[in-house]
Structure formats: structure tokens, C-alpha cells
Amino acid sequence: MKKAIVIGAGIAGIASALRLKNKGYDVTVFEANAYAGGKLHAINQNGFRFDVGPSLFTMPHLVDDLFHLHGVNPRDYFNYSQKEVVCNYFWSDGTTFSVPADKQEFVQRASEKFGAPSSFVRQYLDRNQKKYDLTADIFLNKSLHRWSTYFSWNTFKSLLQSGKLDIDKTLNEVNQQYFEHPKLVQLFNRYATYNGSSPYVTPGIMSMIPHLEMHFGTFHPKGGMHEISQSLFRLAEKVGVTFQFNEAVTSIDYQQSRVTGITTTSGSYAADVVVSNMDVFSTYKHLLKSAKQPYKILRQERSSSALIFYWGINQLFPQLDLHNILFSDHYQDEFKEIFENKSLHDDPTIYIHITSKEDPNDAPANCENWFVMINAPGNVGQDWSALIAKARANVIRKINQVLCTDIEKLILTESILDPILIERQTKSHQGSLYGTSSNSKFAAFWRHPNFSNQFDNLYFCGGSVHPGGGIPLCLLSAKIATEQIKSS
């Protein structure tokens, strides 16, 4: 039986291991940390449970597919419920808007709330779906870096209709083209943050992102987001994947054009195939130091990072749901501060994720577990102690203003995750959440491919390579990478 090694037990690494096992390989996953899941992790403190990383779950069929691949009923391992409310939005002037999951209901409510003709809202959503239908097969389901992808009728049809993709406009320009109300424009501009980019720079094709949310729905996993990675980890162990925790890989070994295995802090291991789920920048800089470096790719602008406060709150807030956004009054300046000045704006947009709304056991009685996040620049040597202290004060001020409370008096417990810790714990260069940013119309093509141009048997998966970051795309990256590997 041929041997496959996966570097990193993030969700894409676990998915790759499951797919390689299905192909007949003897699979071992090496992980520097003591746990599986990568960014999709959890912590418990003083009776509160917090999901540490990703907080939005959509396209659950991509998780279910991995169970079906091994002939297992996913409901025996992993369960989730669909949300009727996608997100609650708040503005400092008192305006609120709750986005329903039903598309037609959204059209009606958005039209009434923001004075936009319902036909415009519907046309906008329909165009987003068209963008997805034209590009999904090319950008999400196949390797962009294989010529075979481009020699198909679907690709030809997409190229003929490329004018409908809005790649020469920014996302903000597309949204302003459809809507006059600045708050509705801001609501749709927010989707640029789903891949760590700025709506004032990222191309208009990114308006397909709300289609994914509205078409496939948003879900809450029973047991929290952490259960996504843990259920797949349990499945992997069941089918015979071996996990080596607390064993960091120090190099990928090779001879001429073939990888021969890896060296870790504990020894050396031979392999027929190696898949790296480590950030591609770190893979080259730390594991392939002597190999030819893809400098153009490694020099690309990184996506945004995050500053997250995990607060145990001693009160119930009925106006909040699982997903909540408190918008900045200076949205464009906020992104300029992040991407140009590499700093934090004094009026940040705040995302609050509260899983105790769905799983009451995640917090003590009459309490809530708040995951409070603001978008942040990557770590490039800033004074993070000063930035965090200032940001915390600004976050508290804004929450108090919008929710009419005194939130600091309600905080029973606190932990903080910043770009330095994200970089340290996950090896994501600069603490970026999505690898490279999508602040270019060519960004998708400039992402590192899921294979190596130097080594015949080295592959890459995860949020730093094609097709991008976020749980669905990481799962697709594992699928694209392993589909290029022959069965054992």
C-alpha cells in the first residue's frame, strides 16, 4: 500500500486525508499542535464554550460528502439545523435589519426597509446567481492551473458571457449601480470580508458570495463550529487515518523532481505523496527552503486578519441572534485603515457570534458567550498591545451606543486572539485568515495551485491556495488537490 503524508490537521488536511484513504493510501497526518482542526478550534473557560475560528457554516453538503465517500451516514456523526435568520444588522442611528433566509422574503423586506424597487433587488440577486452558475465549475470545482480546465464547453460559455461577471468594476461600484440607499450598499459590501478583502478594491464578481449564503442557506452545527472539524477527525480515525500530534514538520524532503517524504521534530518519514495543508507561504519559507521559491505568489498582498474578544456576558440580549453586525459609520475609511495604513479604525465594524442562542449549554444560565470580532490588518510589526487596548475601548463604546448597555460591567471572562497569535498557532503568514487577499481581478489566477510545478508528487490544500479561504473553499481545495492524485 502506498504511503501518503498530510502536513497539518486543519479541515482541508483532514478532508484530504479522508479522500486519500478512500483512494487506497496509508495516510498519516502530522500536526504541530495537540489538537485537530487548525483554525476551526474551541476553548472552554469559566463555564463558557467558545468557537475560536470560523463562525459561518454554509454548503453543509460538502461536509456530508466526506461521510458518504466512506459509506457512513453523516447524521451518525454530525448534525446541524438551518437558520431562518441569516444575520441581524445594526447601525448607530438606531436602524436595524434582520435578513431572512428566504430569498423572496428578503426581497420584500429589503425593498420596504431601504426603499429599493423590489425588481432591482431581485435582479441583483439573480445576477449574483448567474455569476455563480457561470464560474463555479471553473473557479471552485476544478484547478484553475490546468489547461484541461479551459478546454470545455462550460468554460467557453463562461468566457462568452464574461461581461456579466463585473470583473472590471469593484464590488462597491456594482452595489451602487443597483442601490441608492447607502445602508443597503454597505450590507452587500460586507461580503468582501468573507475572503479578507476590501469592497472598494475587490472585483464585482464577488457579489456571488451572498448568493452562496442565500441559496445554500446558513446553518448551525449541533455542538458548535468545532464539531465540523471534530466529526471529520473522528471519521478519519474510524477509517484508519493515523494522526501524529505535537510533531511539527521541519522539512519536506526531495530528490530532483520528486518528494521523498518529510522530516519532523521526531524523525524522518518516507512517502509516495505529500499534501501540505500548511499556509503555502510558510510551506516554502520553512519546509522547502532550498527549493525554487514562487516569489510572485509569495509577495502578494495578504488577506485581512482579525482581532477577537471572547467574552462571557452576564446577561441575555434578545435583540441579538447567532450572527450580528454593528456597522461602522466610516466604512470606506475602515478598509483604508486596514489595508493601506495597516492599522485599526476608531469606529470598527463589529461582528458578534453567539452560539448559546442555539446551544444554551455553551453558557451558564442567563448568560451568553460572545465572540466579538473586528477585521484587522496582518501582523507586520505593529504595536499590538497598544492597538488592542485602543480597539477594546472602541468596541465597548460602540456596543454600548448601539445596544444601549454598559457591556464592560457584564463581562465575566475574557480571552483575546490577535494576528500575532493566529500566525503563531496556525503558521498563517502575518496571521492572514484567507491567505492572499482578493483585492485584484486577477487574484483567483494568482493563488498558488493545488499542485507543485517543481515536484511531481507534492500537493497543496487549504485557505492559502486555490480556490480560497473559508470552510467550503477549504473542503473544495482538498477535493481538487486529491483528484489529481492517482489511486494507490
450: CATH = 3.50.50.60
212 φ, ψ (degrees, to nearest 5): -60, -40
User: Same structural domain for residues 174 and 277?
Assistant: no
Report yes or no on 385 lying in a domain: no
Is it true that the peptide bond before 467 is cis, omega within 30 degrees of 0? yes
Residue 203 has pLDDT above 80, yes or no: yes
Find the mean pLDDT for residues 356-375.
98
Report yes or no on 372 lying in a domain: no
Residue 180 has pLDDT above 80, yes or no: yes
- Specify the 3-state DSSP secondary structure of 299: coil
Report yes or no on 168 lying in a domain: yes
62 φ, ψ (degrees, to nearest 5): -70, -30
Report yes or no on 210 lying in a domain: yes
CA–CA distance from 431 to each of 41, 196, 294, 306, 439 (Å)? 16, 11, 20, 8, 17
Model confidence at 145, pLDDT cuts 50, 70, 90, reads: low
User: Same structural domain for residues 183 and 121?
Assistant: yes
Report yes or no on 176 lying in a domain: yes
Report yes or no on 269 lying in a domain: yes
Find the mean pLDDT for residues 201-212.
91
State the Cα–Cα distance between residues 339 and 264, nearest whole angstrom: 36
Q: Which domain holds residue 11?
A: 3-38+226-300+439-483
Which among 177, 195, 216 is the end of a domain?
A: 216
Residue 206 contacts residue 466 (beta carbons within 8 Å): no
What pLDDT, on a 0 to 100 scale, did the predictor assign at position 160? 53
User: Same structural domain for residues 112 and 162?
Assistant: yes
The residues near 190 (Cβ < 8 Å, ≥ 6 apart) are: 199, 325, 327, 349
Residue 147 has pLDDT above 50, yes or no: no
What pLDDT, on a 0 to 100 scale, did the predictor assign at position 437? 85
Model confidence at 298, pLDDT cuts 50, 70, 90, reads: confident
pTM over 0.85: yes
The overall average pLDDT reported for the chain is 93
Tell me the angle at which helices 226-238 and 61-69 cross, rounded to the nearest 10 degrees: 10
Residue 333 has pLDDT above 80, yes or no: yes
Find the mean pLDDT for residues 173-181.
97
State the Cα–Cα distance between residues 301 and 40, nearest whole angstrom: 24
What pLDDT, on a 0 to 100 scale, did the predictor assign at position 150? 46
Residue 219 has pLDDT above 90, yes or no: yes
User: Same structural domain for residues 267 and 249?
Assistant: yes
What pLDDT, on a 0 to 100 scale, did the predictor assign at position 143? 58
State the Cα–Cα distance between residues 62 and 380, nearest whole angstrom: 35
What pLDDT, on a 0 to 100 scale, did the predictor assign at position 74? 97
In this structure, are strands 249-255 and 85-90 parallel, antiparallel, or unpaired?
A: unpaired
CA 262, 263, 269, 274: dihedral to nearest 10 degrees? Answer: -10
User: Same structural domain for residues 190 and 115?
Assistant: yes
157-188 core/surface letters (b: 16 or more CB in 10 A; e: else): ebeeeeeebbbebbbbebbbebbeeeebbbbb
- Better-predicted residue by pLDDT, 150 or 71: 71
User: Same structural domain for residues 118 and 182?
Assistant: yes
State the Cα–Cα distance between residues 150 and 16, nearest whole angstrom: 25
- Specify the 3-state DSSP secondary structure of 331: helix
Measured in whole angstroms, the distance separating CA 144 from the mean position of its chain's CA atoms is 20
Helix (H) or strand (E) holding 287: none
Helix (H) or strand (E) holding 51: strand 48-51
User: Same structural domain for residues 22 and 115?
Assistant: no
Find the mean pLDDT for residues 247-251.
98
Which among 216, 234, 253 is the end of a domain?
A: 216
Report yes or no on 384 lying in a domain: no
The C-alpha angle with vertex 52 and arms to 46 and 53, in degrees rounded to 5, equals: 170
Residue 57 contacts residue 322 (beta carbons within 8 Å): no
User: Same structural domain for residues 204 and 106?
Assistant: yes
Residue 446 has pLDDT above 80, yes or no: no
Find the mean pLDDT for residues 72-101.
97
Helices (DSSP H) in 190-257: which residue ranges? 209-216, 226-238
User: Same structural domain for residues 443 and 462?
Assistant: yes
State the Cα–Cα distance between residues 128 and 7, nearest whole angstrom: 36
What pLDDT, on a 0 to 100 scale, did the predictor assign at position 442? 64
In this structure, are strands 249-255 and 458-460 parallel, antiparallel, or unpaired?
A: unpaired
The residues near 64 (Cβ < 8 Å, ≥ 6 apart) are: 74, 78
Find the mean pLDDT for residues 163-190.
93
CA–CA distance from 144 to each of 273, 288, 465 (Å)? 21, 23, 11
User: Same structural domain for residues 122 and 195?
Assistant: yes
What pLDDT, on a 0 to 100 scale, did the predictor assign at position 133? 87
Domain count, the chain: 2
R_g of the chain computed on alpha carbons: 22
User: Same structural domain for residues 203 and 118?
Assistant: yes
User: Same structural domain for residues 236 and 209?
Assistant: no
What pLDDT, on a 0 to 100 scale, did the predictor assign at position 443? 63
Q: Lowest-confidence range among 35-44, 137-146, 207-216, 448-457?
A: 137-146
Model confidence at 67, pLDDT cuts 50, 70, 90, reads: very high
Report yes or no on 50 lying in a domain: no
Share of the chain above pLDDT 90, in %: 85
Order the strands of the 268-270 sheet from edge to edge: 249-255, 258-264, 268-270
Model confidence at 285, pLDDT cuts 50, 70, 90, reads: very high
Which among 184, 216, 248 is the end of a domain?
A: 216
- Better-predicted residue by pLDDT, 390 or 142: 390
CA–CA distance from 7 to each of 12, 55, 473 (Å)? 10, 24, 18
Find the mean pLDDT for residues 324-344.
98
Find the mean pLDDT for residues 130-143.
76
Share of the chain above pLDDT 70, in %: 93
